[in-house]
Amino acid sequence: MDIVQKKKIGLIVIILAIALSIPLFVTKPYYIHVITMCLLWAYLASSWNLFCGFAGQLSLGHGIFTAVGAYVTIMLFNDFNISPWIGMFAGGAAAVLLSTLIGYPTFKLRGAYYALATVAIGSGVMVLIENTMTLGPFHVGGAEGLIVRLMGNAPAYLQFMSKVPYYYLALAMLVIVVVFSYWLKNSRLGFYLSALKEDEDAAAALGINVRNAKLVAAAYSAFFTAIGGVFYAMLIRYLEPMAIAGPMMSNEMVFLAVVGGSGTVFGPVVGGITLHAISEVIQFYFSDMAQGLHLFIYGLIVVFVIMFKPQGIIDILQKYYNRFLGISDRGEDESSVS
Amino acid sequence: MSASILEVKQLTINFGGLIAVNNLDMQVGYGEAVGLIGPNGAGKTSAFNLISGVYKPTHGQVIFNGEDITGLPPHVINRKGIGRTFQIVKPFGSMTVLENVMVGGFAHTSNRNKSKAIAMEVIERVGLQRKVNALAKSLTLADRKRLEVAKALATDPKLLLLDEVLAGLNPTEVEEAVDMIKDINKSGISILMIEHVLQATMAICNHIVVLDYGKKIAEGTPQEVTNNPEVIKAYLGDEYEAVIN
């Protein structure tokens, strides 16, 4: 094992050790909750990135996947007592189905059609949920939202009294999506996505079935996003159509991934954690001064990053990372981070 | 199985009122290198797009290796063994040369290391080995054209369609590229190339097809074609017809 490899493993061990020990010295439930939300947003941005970042497709409606995942899981739990641990896979499957239904007609078209379709379907799904009180044997709750049936401390039903298990769960999910992103980026499909992101004609001429590659990647993305929706539902214990399916949810994933560095493995993670942390801090300090001031400041930060670092925050970190490993900026190991 | 790797029969495509390719018949024999020449707008690239599946023909057939591939989508046609380059080069700019060629290498394996091995071999073949880790967008035009060929070669084609890979190169670069194409042809890959650089085409191809206004106006050995009055008329204009006659 060479020195670069050792340094990499060392860095991973240190980051994981810090992440694992955070609940030991952060004891206030509110802070744990805020940190958990940072990890969840990093997870959701990474899930969005699996397809939209890697393949350069703009989905502005990923909120439908968090919504479908969460609603299917919670309805199965509330009305049929199926544990969310199992129900989440049904939710994920429903999201995959929905993603394929949207993708099949739109991926054949070029340009903004996919983005437009996601916006339209995103709003449509939200309105649909808001106006549906019951669906067959299921209680949906309409605009009032859906309350998760409380079980007390029931790990078998993904409910905990303490915030700490949620933190570890979010951390585990984030690690899984990062490992999956890394694998995908370096797989055949990852190469295909990078290629079609740049030029679909050139990709097809090399034997790539562009539509199938997009459908598969979009399905992965939808599945991971849906599981994020389930986690959100179990953490908040209340589903509000506007919050889980609305444009805020959809746009936030895009913001975080783009500001962090879309199309890279770690960009959305960095974007999700730092940007959400910043947003929490400015909300804490500025929200009393004037209505919406914290959102304005948050927006300014997003604009500045996009103006001065269009490749995302990860581009800055990459330089320090390469220096730490002792390799040149265009070194042989560069693909390992970006 | 027919005698030709590629057989085009009565190939026609209309764009609205314009007939870009009109009743084109041509063959490429196994192991042969055929040149497709003609003035700008003669329908050469349209013919390529018909063969490689980008356009569906209004009429006619494309037979590859004894199989009718008319109207199949581009990725299927590539998998059957036709590689192509684009006149306006299409490098995957933010990927390295190696990664670009690996995309082609994945055509026959899902294993990253195998694809890398295929890519390295092809990169050496086209003479880009010193640029392996360079970003594609940083390459010169000559190297971008080599990259186009390398990407197509990595998919292991039986027939290679080259769309003006010599255009815009300086004389030395043309010479190097001609040698590269000859080598590829010698290795058993049949070639159909569109080219404006006539001397170079003649050095590579033993058979040339001339298009004008979508129609085949002449075909034969380079000598036959260049002495054909129709061809001279097409290239130089009507007023030169009298001189020849």
Is there a domain that residue A331 lies in?
no
Kindly indicate the confidence band of residue A337, based on its pLDDT and cuts at 50, 70 and 90: very low
Contact: B78, A330; criterion CB under 8 Å:
no
Q: How far apart are CA B211 and CA A243, in angstroms?
A: 62
| B53 CA: distance to closest CA in chain A (Å) | 9
Residue B235's pLDDT is 79
Kindly indicate the confidence band of residue A330, based on its pLDDT and cuts at 50, 70 and 90: low
Mean pLDDT for the stretch of residues B57-73: 94
Of A71, A51, A184, A181, nearest to A126 by C-alpha is A71
B94 chain-A contacts, CB cut-off 8 A = 194, 198
Kindly indicate the confidence band of residue B3, based on its pLDDT and cuts at 50, 70 and 90: confident
Residue B143's pLDDT is 94
Tokens (6 digits) for B20: 């870009």
| ipTM confidence score | 0.91
pLDDT over 60 (residue B1): no
Tokens (6 digits) for A172: 């585990």
Number of domain units in chain A: 1
Is some CB atom of chain B closer than 8 A to the CB atom of A81?
Answer: no
Q: How many CA atoms are closer than 13 Å to the CA of B35, on its beta-carbon side?
A: 31
Smallest Cβ distance to B52: which of A191, A205, A209? A205
Q: Which residues pair with B59 in a beta bridge?
A: B12
Is some CB atom of chain B closer than 8 A to the CB atom of A134?
Answer: no
- Give me the domain span that covers residue A129: 3-326
* Contacts (Cβ under 8 Å, ≥6 apart) of A242: A126, A130, A248
Smallest Cβ distance to B92: which of A187, A199, A330? A199
Is there a domain that residue A280 lies in?
yes
Q: How far is CA A80 from CA A74, A83, A84, A90, A226, in A?
A: 10, 9, 11, 13, 20
Give yes or no for a contact between A247 and A63, defined as CB atoms under 8 angstroms apart: yes
Instruction: State in Å, rounded, how far the first CA of chain B is from the last one.
Output: 43
| A96 CA: distance to closest CA in chain B (Å) | 24
* Contacts (Cβ under 8 Å, ≥6 apart) of B149: B85, B126, B160, B162, B165, B180, B181, B184
Is there a domain that residue A7 lies in?
yes
Number of domain units in chain B: 1
Mean pLDDT for the stretch of residues A82-108: 94
Cβ neighbours around A70 below 10 Å, total: 30
Residue A31's pLDDT is 92
Q: How far apart are CA A231 and CA A235, in angstroms?
A: 6
Mean pLDDT for the stretch of residues B169-175: 91
Residue A331's pLDDT is 45
Kindly indicate the confidence band of residue B153, based on its pLDDT and cuts at 50, 70 and 90: very high
Is there a domain that residue A267 lies in?
yes
Kindly indicate the confidence band of residue B230, based on its pLDDT and cuts at 50, 70 and 90: confident
A215 chain-B contacts, CB cut-off 8 A = none
Give yes or no for a contact between A158 and A84, defined as CB atoms under 8 angstroms apart: yes
pLDDT over 60 (residue A329): no
Is there a domain that residue A180 lies in?
yes
Kindly indicate the confidence band of residue B133, based on its pLDDT and cuts at 50, 70 and 90: very high
Q: How far apart are CA A67 and CA A125, in angstroms?
A: 9
Touching A: B residues 186-215, CB under 8 Å: none
Is some CB atom of chain A closer than 8 A to the CB atom of B110?
Answer: yes
Kindly indicate the confidence band of residue B241, based on its pLDDT and cuts at 50, 70 and 90: low
Q: How far apart are CA A16 and CA A37, in angstroms?
A: 18
Q: How many CA atoms are closer than 13 Å to the CA of A27, on its beta-carbon side?
A: 2
* Contacts (Cβ under 8 Å, ≥6 apart) of A81: none
- Give me the domain span that covers residue B168: 4-244
Q: How far apart are CA B171 and CA B178, in angstroms?
A: 10
Of all residues in chain B, the percent with pLDDT exceeding 90 is 78
Chain-centre distance of CA A313, in angstroms?
17
Amino acid, res. B94? S
3-class secondary structure, A146: strand
How buried is residue A322: exposed, middle or buried, by Cβ count under 10 Å (0-12/13-18/19+)?
middle
Q: Which of these ranges, A38-47, A182-191, A301-310, B25-34, has the smallest mean pLDDT?
A: A301-310
Inter-residue long-range contacts of A1-4, CB under 8 Å, 24+ positions, other chains counted: A3/A326, A4/A325, A4/A326, A4/A327, A4/A333
Of how many residues is chain A composed? 338
Cβ neighbours around A197 below 10 Å, total: 18
Is some CB atom of chain A closer than 8 A to the CB atom of B95?
Answer: yes
Tokens (6 digits) for A153: 């401390």
Q: How far apart are CA A260 and CA A306, in angstroms?
A: 10
B152 chain-A contacts, CB cut-off 8 A = 205-206
Of all residues in chain B, the percent with pLDDT exceeding 70 is 96
Give the 3-state secondary structure of chain B.
CCCEEEEEEEEEEEECCEEEEEEEEEEEECCCEEEEECCCCCCHHHHHHHHCCCCCCCEEEEEECCEECCCCCHHHHHHHCEEECCCCCCCCCCCEHHHHHHHHHCCCCCCHHHHHHHHHHHHHHCCCHHHCCCEHHHCCHHHHHHHHHHHHHHCCCCEEEEECCCCCCCHHHHHHHHHHHHHHHHCCCEEEEECCCHHHHHHHCCEEEEEECCEEEEEECHHHHHCCHHHHHHHHCCHHHHHHC
Mean pLDDT for the stretch of residues B221-239: 83
pLDDT over 50 (residue A334): no
Look at the block and give the residue holding tokens 């020849």. B244
Of all residues in chain A, the percent with pLDDT exceeding 90 is 70
CATH number, domain at A301? 1.10.3470
Q: Do the bridges between strand A138-139 and strand B4-15 make them parallel or antiparallel, or are there none, so unpaired?
A: unpaired
Is there a domain that residue A171 lies in?
yes
B104 chain-A contacts, CB cut-off 8 A = 206-207
Residue A336's pLDDT is 41
* Contacts (Cβ under 8 Å, ≥6 apart) of B163: B44, B45, B48, B84, B85, B86, B87, B193, B194
Tell me the per-residue pLDDT of B73-131, one tens digit each, with 9 for 90 and over: 999 999 999 999 999 999 999 999 999 999 999 998 999 999 999 999 999 999 999 99
Mean pLDDT for the stretch of residues A79-100: 96
Residue B245's pLDDT is 47
Q: Which helix (H) or strand (E) holds A139?
A: strand A138-139
Tell me the per-residue pLDDT of A304-323, one tens digit each, with 9 for 90 and over: 888 888 888 998 898 888 88
B119 chain-A contacts, CB cut-off 8 A = none
Is some CB atom of chain A closer than 8 A to the CB atom of B106?
Answer: yes
Which of A77-81, A108-112, B1-5 reaches the highest mean pLDDT?
Answer: A77-81
| A56 CA: distance to closest CA in chain B (Å) | 13
pLDDT over 80 (residue A299): yes
Residue A333's pLDDT is 42
Smallest Cβ distance to B78: which of A188, A192, A205? A205
Q: Which of these ranges, A329-338, B56-65, B201-210, has the smallest mean pLDDT?
A: A329-338
Mean pLDDT for the stretch of residues A230-255: 93
CATH number, domain at B67? 3.40.50.300
Is there a domain that residue A337 lies in?
no
Tokens (6 digits) for A24: 């030991």
Is some CB atom of chain B closer than 8 A to the CB atom of A188?
Answer: yes
If you count residue pairs, one on A and one on B, with CB atoms under 8 Å apart, how many are there? Answer: 77
Backbone angles phi, psi at A154, to 5 degrees: -135, 85
